[in-house]
Amino acid sequence: MDILLIYQFCTFGGVERVILNRAQAYRKYGVDVKISIGYLADRGALQSFSTYIQRHNLQAQVMPFLFPQDLAHDWAKYDYVFIIDTPQVFEASASAKNVHVECHSLYTQSRQYLHNLPKHIKSVIVPSNSLKQLLQTEHEGLPEIYILPNPVSDEYFDIQPLEKKYLYASSHYLLCSCRRSQKILLKRRAYLKP
């Protein structure tokens, strides 16, 4: 599957992290997805983003590039086009099939473009149920809103098997530590005084 993501500028920030995490998740689960990410401007991070992609062997899955000024592009070669908070490309993408908007912005002013979505936009994608509910209250007449959570990459976790040496406290017990750093177990919460 070939996907085109479009974002205003490359900063190697949250949007880029989401793209990388998605690519790693697709690879981990054997999903054949090629993500082209087109930027309208480079804010000085495109080279470091490209280097990261190469160092993590993701160049077959993620291909960043800069759009030409006139936004001319072969839209037909993609199965899906996702425009991430970048309304500047709505008109240029009118001939593309399967165009969806991803809204990641938490700033009300940055979401105002949703009031005037063109007819060729099939749906709105958001990362959370709370943002979906917010958009539904802010903007009437939006196309269907779907939730696509932002995956968190395994590289952030040192996953170790659990040992059986953990202490668990039930609802009837409270674990506290006293001044001498000794751990004591108080039998019932009723015995605790404020």
Q: How many domains does one find in the chain?
A: 1
CATH number of the domain bearing residue 62: 3.40.50.2000
Q: How high is the pLDDT of residue 39?
A: 96
Q: Tell me the DSSP string of the chain.
A: -EEEEEEEEE-SSHHHHHHHHHHHHHHHTT---EEEEEEEEE-S-HHHHHHHHHHTT-TTTEEEEEPPTT----GGG-SEEEEES-GGGTTTTTT-SSEEEE-----TGGGGGGGG--TTEEEEEES-HHHHHHHHHH-TT---EEE-PPP--GGG----PPPS------TT-EEEE-TTS-EEEES-GGG---
Q: Which tens digit of pLDDT belongs to each residue from 111-153?
A: 999 999 999 999 999 999 999 999 999 999 999 999 999 877 7
Residue 183 placed within a domain? no
Residue 185 placed within a domain? no
Whether 77 has a pLDDT exceeding 60, the answer reads yes
| Full residue range of the structural domain in which residue 89 is found | 2-156
Residue 127 placed within a domain? yes
Q: How high is the pLDDT of residue 157?
A: 59
Q: How high is the pLDDT of residue 135?
A: 96
Residue 8 placed within a domain? yes
Q: At a CB cut-off of 8 Å and minimum separation 6, what does 38 contact?
A: 4, 5, 6, 7, 64, 65, 66, 67, 73
Whether 177 has a pLDDT exceeding 50, the answer reads no
Q: Residues in the chain, how many?
A: 194
Q: How high is the pLDDT of residue 179?
A: 34
Residue 175 placed within a domain? no
Residue 142 placed within a domain? yes
Residue 193 placed within a domain? no
